[in-house]
C-alpha cells in the first residue's frame, strides 16, 4: 500500500500536527462531550479507586477526604491549561493541531523539552500498564478465593498466586492491543466506564453495609497509628502518591481531545467533559474511600475489593472483581495507545517504503468485521504487553507500584509542563501576579511529588526485601 493509503488505515501514524484541511482529509472526528467523558472515566477510575480507602486510612478523617478534593481541583486546573494547548498557536483558531502531549510540548517549549517530557510520558503510560496488570491479577485471585471459601468454608486454605493470572491478562491484552487507535475504541471505553461505575457502586455498597453491621464509624483523625514517626510519614507519603495516581490523566488528554468534532471548539468540549468526569470521579472516590475506611478502620485493606474479610454474597464479590478486570482491559488500552501511536508514527516516517512498517494484510473472520493486520503493530505491541506483564510479575505490590508511578509523573506531567506552556501561549511576563501565583502553585505540587516518591519507594523496597 502507498503512504497515503496507510495513513487512512492508521490515522495516528501520520504527522504529529496537522492543519484542519489535512486532518479533514485523513480523519473524520466524531467525538462528543459524552464520548470524552467515557474515555476520561475509563482512564481515571481504574486501579486508583481501589487504593483510596487505604490512603484515607493512612491520612485520617480530615486530611484524607480533604486531599481528594484538593487533587480534584488541581486536576481541573491542569486539564484546562492543557486543553488550550491542543491548537497552536491560538487555543481557538490555531491552524495546527497537537494530537499528543509530547507534540504540544515541542511546539510550545521546543524540542529539548520534548525529549525531557518524553521520558515522563512514557514512564507514566508504561507504569499504568504495569499497575493495571497487577490489579487485574489481584481481582482474578479474589474471584478464585471467593468461590473457594463459598464451596469449602471460611477456614479453608484458599491460596492462589498471581503469576498465571497476569499471564492471562497479558494474553488478552495482546489481542486487544491490535485495535488501531483511539478513534476505533469508543465502544471499549463505554463498556469500561460502565464497569467502573458498577464496581465502584459495589465497593461503596459493601463498605456501607459493613458500617451498618459494625454499628459504628471506625477510624480516627490521625489515621492508622505507626510504631514511629518515620514509618508514619512514609505511609502518609505513600498514600499521597496513591492519590496522585488516582486523578490526573494529563498524559492522554490531548489524544482524547483529538477525537472531538467541532464546532464547538475542541477545547470548550474537552473542558466541559473534564469537569463532568472529575465531578463524577470525585463523588465515587469520596464514597469508596471514606466508607471503606469507616468500615475497616485501622485494618483497611490496600485493595478494597480484594481485601474484604468476608466473601458473601460471593456472587457479588465475583461480579465486582469481574467488572474491575473488564474495566482494566479498556483502561490498559487507554494508556497504551499513545505509546503505540508515537512509536508507529516514528517508524512510518523513518521507513516510509518498508512493507513491514506500512503494509496492511486484510482477512475476514466469521461473525467479525474485516480485520487489518500490520506486522510492525503486531510485533511491537506484543513486545510491549509482554514487558509490562513481566515487570508486574517481578514487582506485584499494588499500593507501592501505584504510589511510585503516580508520584513520579504527577508534578512534571500534570503541573510543570502545562504551566510552562500556558506562560508561552499567553505571553506571561516574569514576576507578574499571575506568574507568581502559578509558580507557587507549581512548587507546592513539586513538594507533593517528592513526598509521594519517597514514601512509595520506601514501601516498594520494604515489600520486595521483607
Residues 257-315: tens digit of each pLDDT: 888 887 888 888 999 999 999 998 888 888 888 888 888 888 887 776 666 555 567 78
CATH number at 40 reads 1.20.1740.10
Res 19 pLDDT > 60: no
In a domain, 349, yes or no: yes
The radius of gyration computed from the CA coordinates of the chain, to the nearest angstrom, equals 22
By residue range, what is the domain housing residue 210? Answer: 33-465
Q: Domain total for the chain?
A: 1
CA distance 293 to 29: 43
Cα 135 to chain centroid distance, Å, stands at 12
In a domain, 8, yes or no: no
- pLDDT per position as a tens digit, 90-140: 777 778 888 888 888 988 998 889 888 888 888 888 888 888 898 888 888
| Best CA proximity match to 326, nearest among 202, 173, 181 | 173
| Best CA proximity match to 459, nearest among 395, 414, 415 | 395
In a domain, 246, yes or no: yes
Q: Average pLDDT, stretch 67-88?
A: 90
Which of helix, strand or coil describes residue 30? coil
In a domain, 4, yes or no: no
CA distance 326 to 140: 11
In a domain, 184, yes or no: yes
Residue with cell 469508596: 288
Alpha helices in 215-307 (DSSP H): 229-246, 250-257, 266-296
CA distance 149 to 108: 57
In a domain, 199, yes or no: yes
Which helix (H) or strand (E) segment holds residue 206: the answer is: helix 186-214
In a domain, 268, yes or no: yes
pLDDT at position 4 is 39
| Best CA proximity match to 140, nearest among 172, 171, 162, 167 | 162
Which helix (H) or strand (E) segment holds residue 255: the answer is: helix 250-257
Res 463 pLDDT > 80: no
| Best CA proximity match to 75, nearest among 99, 43, 107, 102 | 43
Q: Average pLDDT, stretch 377-398?
A: 88
Residue 22's pLDDT band, with cuts at 50, 70 and 90, is: very low
Please say whether the dihedral angle defined by the alpha carbons of residues 161, 163, 167 and 170, taken in this order, is positive or negative. positive
Residue with cell 499571575: 434
In a domain, 28, yes or no: no
Q: Supply the DSSP symbol for 428.
A: P
Amino acid at each position: 500500500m502507498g503512504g497515503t493509503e496507510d495513513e487512512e488505515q492508521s490515522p495516528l501514524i501520520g504527522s504529529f500536527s496537522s492543519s484542519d484541511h489535512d486532518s479533514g482529509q485523513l480523519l473524520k472526528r466524531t467525538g462528543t462531550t459524552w464520548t470524552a467523558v467515557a474515555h476520561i472515566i475509563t482512564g481515571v477510575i481504574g486501579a486508583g479507586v481501589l487504593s483510596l480507602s487505604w490512603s484515607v486510612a493512612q491520612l485520617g478523617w480530615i486530611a484524607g477526604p480533604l486531599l481528594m478534593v484538593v487533587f480534584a481541583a488541581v486536576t481541573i486546573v491542569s486539564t484546562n491549561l492543557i486543553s488550550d494547548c491542543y491548537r497552536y498557536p491560538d487555543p481557538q483558531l490555531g491552524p495546527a493541531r497537537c494530537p499528543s502531549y509530547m507534540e504540544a510540548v515541542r511546539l510550545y517549549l521546543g524540542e529539548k523539552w520534548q525529549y525531557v517530557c518524553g521520558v515522563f510520558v512514557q514512564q507514566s503510560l508504561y507504569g499504568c500498564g504495569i499497575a493495571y496488570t497487577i490489579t487485574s491479577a489481584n481481582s482474578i485471585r479474589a474471584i478464585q478465593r471467593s468461590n473457594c471459601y463459598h464451596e469449602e468454608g471460611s477456614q479453608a486454605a484458599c491460596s492462589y498466586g498471581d503469576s498465571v493470572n497476569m499471564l492471562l491478562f497479558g494474553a488478552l491484552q495482546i489481542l486487544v492491543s491490535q485495535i488501531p487507535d483511539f478513534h476505533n475504541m469508543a465502544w471499549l471505553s463505554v463498556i469500561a466506564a460502565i464497569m467502573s461505575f458498577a464496581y465502584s457502586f459495589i465497593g461503596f455498597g459493601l463498605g456501607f453495609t459493613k458500617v451498618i453491621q459494625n454499628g459504628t464509624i471506625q477510624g480516627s483523625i490521625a489515621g492508622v497509628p505507626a510504631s514511629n514517626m518515620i514509618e508514619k510519614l512514609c505511609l502518609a507519603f505513600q498514600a499521597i502518591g496513591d492519590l496522585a495516581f488516582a486523578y490526573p490523566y494529563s498524559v492522554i488528554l490531548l489524544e482524547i481531545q483529538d477525537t472531538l468534532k467541532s464546532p464547538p471548539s475542541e477545547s470548550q468540549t474537552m473542558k466541559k467533559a473534564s469537569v463532568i468526569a472529575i465531578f463524577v470521579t470525585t463523588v465515587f472516590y469520596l464514597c469508596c474511600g471514606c466508607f471503606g475506611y469507616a468500615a475497616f478502620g485501622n485494618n483497611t485493606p490496600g485493595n478494597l475489593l480484594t481485601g474484604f474479610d468476608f466473601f458473601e454474597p460471593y456472587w457479588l464479590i465475583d461480579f465486582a472483581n469481574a467488572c474491575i478486570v473488564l474495566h482494566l482491559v479498556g483502561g490498559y488500552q487507554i494508556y497504551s495507545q499513545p505509546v503505540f501511536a508515537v512509536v508507529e508514527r516514528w517508524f512510518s516516517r523513518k521507513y516510509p517504503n518498508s512493507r513491514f512498517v506500512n503494509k496492511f494484510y486484510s482477512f475476514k473472520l466469521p461473525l467479525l468485521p474485516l480485520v487489518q493486520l500490520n506486522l510492525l503493530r503486531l510485533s511491537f505491541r506484543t513486545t510491549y504487553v509482554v514487558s509490562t506483564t513481566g515487570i508486574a510479575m517481578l514487582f506485584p505490590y499494588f499500593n507501592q507500584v501505584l504510589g511510585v508511578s503516580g508520584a513520579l509523573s504527577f508534578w512534571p506531567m500534570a503541573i510543570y509542563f502545562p504551566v510552562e506552556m500556558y506562560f508561552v501561549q499567553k505571553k506571561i511576563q516574569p514576576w507578574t501576579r499571575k506568574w507568581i501565583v502559578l509558580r507557587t502553585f507549581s512548587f507546592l505540587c513539586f513538594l507533593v511529588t517528592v513526598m509521594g516518591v519517597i514514601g512509595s519507594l520506601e514501601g516498594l523496597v520494604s515489600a520486595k526485601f521483607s
